[in-house]
Every structure is written in structure tokens, then in C-alpha cells.
Chain A
Amino acid sequence: MTMADPVDRPGDPDLADQRLAESFATGGEPTFAAVYERWSPLVYSTARRATGNTDEAADITQAAFVSAWRSRASFDPTRGSLPGWLLTITRRRIADRWSQRSREPIPDDTPDPGVEITPVDDAIDRILIADELQRLGEPPGTIMRLAFYEQLTHAEIAERLDLPLGTVKSHIRRSLDRMRRRLEVDREAL
């Protein structure tokens, strides 16, 4: 399998993301709805991890997207990534929550059982990697899940999936590079 240039692949999710980001600043509600559909899981999941509370995460998501809508004209797709910009806003809304909480003598909400609290930056890394993992397509998605979670070697993966060794190795390299680049690009704005 060869990785064609994104422009040559109709339906490419990266290309769809890029188009959406380019339309965001000037677009109206339909574009905003599509942006919400695509990136609200990142915002919500980051907030959920950072606060450990699903109700708070929902409030933060709402506040972050309302801010994003109001300041969308200031987003410049040539200067940074849209998910990075949305996560910057999310981080500010999370900080607002913390300062609000510190003024309240008794917090009225406690972490939900089973939701582990993670520092915001770590939460963002986790969410970006999870998002990228979901978007790898096949076979890289399966290859990476076997490498990460079953801890198989590349030779074992090649045997399991009946793929040439070289193919498995290059999928592993490309997939990890995608994740590394994704962290660099989306973290640049933070």
C-alpha cells in the first residue's frame, strides 16, 4: 500500500478536517455544527479527564464552544491548527473552573467514580493520541492496537495479519510519526 498525497485521496479525513478549519472563521452555524461534531469529543474528554466530573466537563464544553463561536473570526488557519485553538480555549475554561472552585469553601461536586483526574497537559496528550489512533484507518489501526495493547513484536504482528515484515514496520513508523506530528501541531498553540 502506498500513502498517496492527501490531496489525491477523496474522502480523506485529514483533508476534510483541513477544509473545515479553513471555513471556520467565516462560516456560519452549519459549519460550526460540523466543527462541533468533529472536535467536541476532544474538548469534552479533555475536560472530563482534567476535572474528573462529567457534569463539569459538559459545562466546560458548552462554555468553550460558545467562546469559540464568538471569537471564531480571530482564528487564522494559516497560523495554527483548529483543534489546538479549541484546546487552548478549553484549557482556559478549565482554569476558570478551578479558580471558581478555589473560591468556594466546599466544592459542590466530587469526582465521578471511575473518572481518573489527570493534569490538563497530560489529558490533552492522551486525547490527541486516542483521536489519532481512531483515525489511522486499516490496516495501521489494527497493527498499532496489536503493538500497543497485546505488545506483539512487529514479526508477530506480520505473522498474525499475514503481512510482509516491511509493510508492518513502515506502518508502525508512519503511525507513530503521525501521532508525534499531531502532538507537535496541536500543542503549538497551547
Chain B
Amino acid sequence: MNAAKHNPSSLKRIFRRGIFYSFLIALLPAMDILAGVLVAPPVVFMSEKGKAGRITVQNPTNAPKEITISLSFGLPESDSLGNVNIFLNDSTVTDPRSCLEWVKAFPRRLIIPANGSQVVRFVAKPPKNLPDGEYWARVVIEAQEGVAGIPMLEADDRITTKLNMVMRTAIALKYRTGDLVASLEMTGAETRIVDSKVEAMLDFTNKGNCSYVGVLACRLLDANNKEVSTFDLHLAVYRQLRRRIELPIVEGEFQAPYRVEVTVTNRGRKDIPPEEMIYGNDITQTLAVES
């Protein structure tokens, strides 16, 4: 047996090498998750006590990324069918709850090298005598490859095309001042059976002076109080919002008539730090399902 192979310094070297390769192996499962530009946190909170905010933009790819930071205004809005969308608007915004005019981002254009990251800061300069409440904007992080997107001509007599894919992530920015009240009211509810599912149309109105951010949970129960199906989603109500919920009537020994138990609470959100949550009222209501 070779004594040098097993002396303590060799073992240390083997051990260090083992650590190195283990880290490489450990990174493999993370590769899929780290495929795009990452922005954290998903919501920027600012207040009269802390007029500065920050996000970290990370480029986990092996190519430099050109990043543009801009501010827009857009709230979750719904149509009459309960479809929700966010339409961003960055000019002629007259909403009194917009902080677009007095929040600035630094820097607004940057190139993040491969596997690099950059902190982007926000500074608020709110007008004097701003009424109590929450003021909103969306931070739009636009990323594209850090090289020009002009296609290379393969031959002098050909027409070639190149569509540059630009990726934008919009995260919420909230500036808070004074006393904040989170209050939500369910102003309307309709249920009906469509094919093999129960459709519930729920109308919410925000009665507070800040966005109501919580969890909407629905349970479909049969005549014997047996749970047929459930549905839950993260809810953000800024003013009015209509949500369409579909609960499948799964196969089983369930008996009509059905009921939908609706619960709304702003406890239990794990994606927002508890110290940033404005806790308000809970709603619990049971709706009979019309056949």
C-alpha cells in the first residue's frame, strides 16, 4: 500500500476536491430554476419611514444581459366574465393612487455580466400632505441578450428574418403613509352548474385605504357536507374585482344540492413578509348552488 496516498495532507486534498465536486453536482438541479433573469423580492414596499427600496436583479445565465428598469401603473382588473388581467400604462396616468411621478429608480439601464447581479434602488419623493393610504406602481424589468439582435445575412440574395425575444417582469411597488386600513367586502356572488363543474362569480370591493392582499379559498360541499373539490388562489383587490371560480364536480357518491363555502383571509400569505402585511377582516360565506 502506498503510504503517501493515505497521509493526512493527501486526505485533506481529497476532501477539498470532494467538496468542490459536490458543489458542482449540487448546482445541477438548480440549473433549470436559474434559466432567466431573476428579480427579488416580488413586491417592493416603501413608506414614509423608509423612502428607499431595492430589488436585486440576477443574471444566472452564461451570457450578459441588457436590463432596462422602468415604472408603469397597472392594477389587477377584471371583465364581466371574471377574467383578470393587468394592463400597464406608463403615460397619462391620472390615478390619484399612482406614485409613478414621484418614485425614481437607479440605475435604469444596466448590463449584468454572466452570472452577475445588480441592486436597483428606488427613492420616493412624495408630495407634501399626502393623504393616508397606499400608493402604487409597477416596476418593469426588461431583459434581453446583451448583443445586437440584427440577423446575419447568410447570402447576398436572400431575405432573412430575426425576431428578438424581449422578456419583461412586472412587480408591484407600494408606498405607504399614515394609518392603513385593510377592509374587503364581498358585494355579490352567483353560482351555477356548467357541465360537470360549479361556477362561482364573486364580486369584491376594497373598503380600505390600501390594497387587500390575501387568499381566496373555495370548497364545494354536497348535501351531506362532504367535500367535493376545492380551489384557492392569491387575491389582490385594489378597488373592485370580479373573480370566476370553477369547482369540478368530481365523480363519487355526492348528493345534490351543492353549496360553495367561500373564505377570504389575508393571513397565510407566505410570499409576503408578515411585517409588510396589513391585516384586515376575514370573509366567510356559504352560497347555495342553483341547479
- Please determine whether chains A and B interact with each other in the same assembly: no
A residues sitting closer than 8 Å to B (CB atoms) are none
